[in-house]
Chain A
Amino acid sequence: MSKRTINWYKYAAPANFYPLAGKMIPWFATASALIFVVGLYVSFFVAPTDYQQHEAYRIIFIHVPAAWMGMFLYVLLAIYAGIGWAFNARLSSMMATAIAPTGAIFTLISLVTGSLWGRPAWGVWWVWDARLTSTLILMFLYIGFISLQSSIDDARRADRAGAVLALVGVINVPIIYFSVQWWNSLHQGATITAKSFKMAPSMLAAMLILLAACWIYSIAVVLVRVRCIIREREHEAPWLAEAEA
């Protein structure tokens, strides 16, 4: 009786990962679109009106998932960049490069939607409190990472330089998360903790469904982008011509 095992390490090579990613993209793209539709339906037609913030609270269903995605994707970027730097794994570095624009966009969404929420809730578009300021710094870190890599012609040198910036900047993520506990912040505290959640089940469901949609969307776009990066960097490789035939 033979024992079939999958050698997962083979997918660390761009030549093996490229076709696998190509097969995965349609599934994640379709799932993301469907889950977004379901999440938006629950957000607008199932979740009740908040007694305090009325209809303005519905911004939370996109603001919170976007903020979480901005932070999660930066940590993921730093991990991939660190692995790429430590083990000279070029696909890992390519993944870090692919993640950065999506993370930056979600961070921008969280800043803009947060501002649109802050105006009716606090009466101001912006305050320099700990959470908002550290999230703005996260946006600058993403822009810095993308700009730094773009400014260096040699791809491997760009990967190493970006990895240094990514790993130094990752300390900002726990600062964002714990800022509402460490400092006297205008921003509200955690709604969802390990022990409890302070919102109605239908509201929580809407938020988590849209978070899932954002995650699956991110996987789809990052896979498309990393395939583009692989083609750009490995365009002279014989395997690429065979893969596209």
Chain B
Amino acid sequence: MGGYALYVWGSYGVTLILLGGEVLMLWQRKRKVSHNTPSD
């Protein structure tokens, strides 16, 4: 990356962490709601 690896990979890494974290938290919320909502 021509000496800019920290900045470029850092940017995409932060993006992956934040979007991945959002997906993970959403999955956990979905599981919690499914568990708490009884279905016949």
Instruction: Tell me if B's interface is mostly helix, strand, loop or mixed.
Output: helix
Instruction: Tell me if A's interface is mostly helix, strand, loop or mixed.
Output: helix
Interface band, chain B: 20 to 34
A245:B4 contact, CB within 8 angstroms: no
Q: How far is the CA of A22 from the CA of B22 in the complex (A)?
A: 19
Q: How far is the CA of A105 from the CA of B39 in the complex (A)?
A: 33
B37:A55 contact, CB within 8 angstroms: no
Nearest B-chain residue to A102, judged by Cβ = B22
**Chain B nearest Cβ from A139, distance in angstroms:** 13
In the complex, which residues 57-111 of chain A have their Cβ closer than 8 Å to any Cβ of chain B?
A: 58-59, 62-63, 66, 101-102, 105, 108-109
B29:A105 contact, CB within 8 angstroms: no
Q: Residues of B contacting A116 with CB < 8 Å?
A: 7-8, 10-11, 14
Q: Which one, A168-176, A186-194, A195-203, A223-231, is touching chain B? A: A223-231
Q: Residues of A at under 8 Å CB distance from B?
A: 49, 54-56, 58-59, 62-63, 66, 101-102, 105, 108-109, 112-113, 116-117, 119-120, 217, 221, 224-225, 227-228, 231-232, 235, 240-242, 244-245
6 closest residue pairs by CB, A with B: A244-B39, A56-B4, A113-B11, A55-B2, A55-B1, A116-B7
- 15 examples of A-B residue contacts, CB within 8 angstroms: A49-B2, A55-B2, A58-B1, A59-B8, A59-B11, A102-B22, A105-B22, A109-B14, A113-B11, A116-B7, A221-B26, A225-B29, A231-B33, A231-B34, A235-B36
